Amino acid sequence: MLDGEVLVTTGTAPTTATVHEPVKPADAHVPKETIGCDVIVIGAGFSGITAIHRFRKLGLNVKCFESGSDFGGVWYWNRYPGARVDSELPFYQLNIPEVYRDWHFTQRFSDHNELRRYMAHIDSVLGLRKDAYFNARVCDARWDESAGQWTIRTLQGHTAKAKYLVSCTGLLHRTYTPDFPGLSSYKGEIYHSGAWPENFNPKGKKIGLIGAGATAVQITQELGKQASELTVFLRRPSYCLPMGQRAFTKEEQNSWKSFYPTLFTAGRNSMAGFPGSRQSQGVQDVSPEERERLFEELWARGAFNFQLSNYNNVILDPTANKIVYEFWRRKVCERLTDPAKHAIMAPPVEKQPYYFGTKRSPLEQDYYEVLNQPNVHLHSLTTSPLSTFTPTGLRMSDNKTYDFDAIVLATGFDSYSGSLTQLGLHNKHGVDLKQIWEQQGVNTYLGITIATFPNFFHAYTPQAPTALSNGPTIIEAQIETIASIISKLESEGAKRIEPQLEAEAEWTKVLGERSAMTLLPFTDSWWNGANIPGKKKENMIYVGGIDMYEQEVRGRFEEGWRGFDVTGGKRTEVTA
């Protein structure tokens, strides 16, 4: 299961409302001696794999510590029905020629099984395993100022020291289970999507599903075809887009591999990691006929084309946004024909739940056809909220009751900050990052460093284009930038780097001002932390895109370490 607060039972009443994953033993005998290296990497998903590879190429000794039992990150943990990526090939893979040369995917959008095979292939080609410790969950990390190094410890007993510490713990890792009333009284099976039992059989069962985000969409597509009844409980619908799934042959991929370097470069120089750009005009700048032609063309392409290649004011102008929403709703209602389900999943424009594009739009294959099935039901939690769990199911605020054999919680993650604040990561003053961010809000410098945390870097986390980007593309941009910083530090003989508090505050302020120019602040979601009760609602997104982000970040450290304090070596004085 995922590292986090999840509820898992196997058909009997849970003993408590929250069950934490037990500490797994280490894969092998834990070394009694302290492990020494140049760089410690935490996490072995795409970010951690990229970090190991890039730091090795710099000639650095790197060791990786991973809480799971193998490589994969989110794809090691995600095993729920229908779990698959929503970034299309060839862009959802690492830009490493020796890896992609002999690897072939089978579909435009790979499922979790294929992605774990891909991770194993990367490991085999690059020989990553010799530098990785599995079932090794970091629980404490502290900076020693006199020694100029980090010391990390794991729950399993590992101790390691290094000059640099790099967190690759991911964007969506820390699962979230709401504190539902009466949860512990329920006697049936209950599972969080992030802790899925691979032997679960939905056939003949009445199942309740709480949630309507990307994970819930994929689960609905699978369980709706197998369960005797499936009831989906949701507050707001997702604005799903057509995936356009299809098979990819080896011959087709081989014919494109000569162009991979060009395609990957174009993706890196784009806004979201996919070559292409928005239209140069606004929605209202063209005739309705021309607009309709473009909408239909983008819709037919599948993937995120309808969102990424649309008119340039969709996310800026409420009127333009409503026009796009109206088209989206019409396409959905052509497939979801039940008027009662229309009202919940695709309300008329005057009741538009939120602006289009200000919350993640999942990709679907036959989601609306499954929702059309008579065995699939919808319950609006906005109209009738959950009152309490009961021994047999759920009771709503209007006293309507539901009985279920099993309940699925697709209730999301403590996104962005959750994985970082659970590491026991202490700054140079001995204060835990969790305490700092809870009191002051999430603050970083350039989305890769944090003030008062010397020689510490992080990737695929807050205040970068992460949520709005193809994962491997932004990961490679950030990890390669971090590698460039470390390479520059080593070439200058520097001992220590730390972002200035003033620079961090300026970065947070600028990102907030840029976001305020869009419609994003009007929608609460995991993008701004509003999905977690008690968590501060704040902007955590860099809206300018990968290309602008990487250019801006590299400019700051390449031009005199702007915003950093660097000590030792050739340069000890810096400018703010």
Domains (ranges, CATH) in the chain? 31-174+415-493+541-549 (3.50.50.60)
Model pLDDT, residue 28? 57
CA 241 to chain centre: 18
Does residue 207 contact residue 426 with C-beta atoms inside 8 Å? no
Distance CA 187, CA 394 (A): 11
Q: 430 pLDDT exceeds 50? A: yes
**Non-local CB neighbours of 84 within 8 Å, separated by 6+ positions:** 109, 110, 111, 112, 218
pLDDT tier at 527 (50, 70, 90 boundaries)?
A: confident
Using CB atoms within 10 Å of the CB of residue 537, give its burial: 0 to 12 exposed, 13 to 18 middle, 19+ buried.
middle
- Among 404, 377, 427, 420, CA closest to 529: 420
Does residue 543 contact residue 513 with C-beta atoms inside 8 Å? no
Model pLDDT, residue 414? 73
Model pLDDT, residue 532? 75
**Averaged pLDDT, 450-469:** 95
Model pLDDT, residue 183? 95
**Averaged pLDDT, 243-254:** 96
Does residue 77 contact residue 1 with C-beta atoms inside 8 Å? yes
Whole-structure pTM value: 0.93
- Take residue 85 and report the two structure tokens written for it: 């990526």
Distance CA 398, CA 394 (A): 12
**Averaged pLDDT, 298-309:** 97
Distance CA 372, CA 268 (A): 40
For residue 82, give Cα distances in angstroms to 75, 111, 223, 306, 526: 12, 7, 9, 23, 21
- Among 173, 197, 162, 192, CA closest to 66: 173
- Among 251, 288, 268, CA closest to 470: 268
Predicted confidence (pLDDT) per residue in 120-146, tens digit: 999 999 999 999 999 999 999 999 999
Percent of the chain at pLDDT exceeding 70 = 94
Least confident range of 14-18, 474-478, 528-532: 14-18
Model pLDDT, residue 27? 61
Model pLDDT, residue 535? 75
Q: Are strands 564-567 and 496-499 parallel, antiparallel or unpaired?
A: antiparallel
Counting DSSP H helices and E strands in the chain, the numbers are 16, 21
Distance CA 331, CA 307 (A): 14
**Cβ neighbours of 344 (radius 10 Å):** 22
Distance CA 171, CA 415 (A): 6
Predicted confidence (pLDDT) per residue in 225-243, tens digit: 999 999 999 999 999 999 9
Buried b (16+ CB within 10 A) or exposed e, 433-464: bbebbeeebbbbbbbbbbbbbbbbbbbbbbbb
Q: 11 pLDDT exceeds 50? A: no
pLDDT tier at 32 (50, 70, 90 boundaries)?
A: confident
DSSP H helical ranges for 346-499: 367-372, 433-440, 471-491
Predicted confidence (pLDDT) per residue in 361-371, tens digit: 999 999 999 99
Model pLDDT, residue 26? 59
Residue type, 51: A
**Non-local CB neighbours of 427 within 8 Å, separated by 6+ positions:** 143, 433, 436, 450, 452, 453
Model pLDDT, residue 2? 28
Model pLDDT, residue 576? 31
Predicted confidence (pLDDT) per residue in 205-214, tens digit: 999 999 999 9
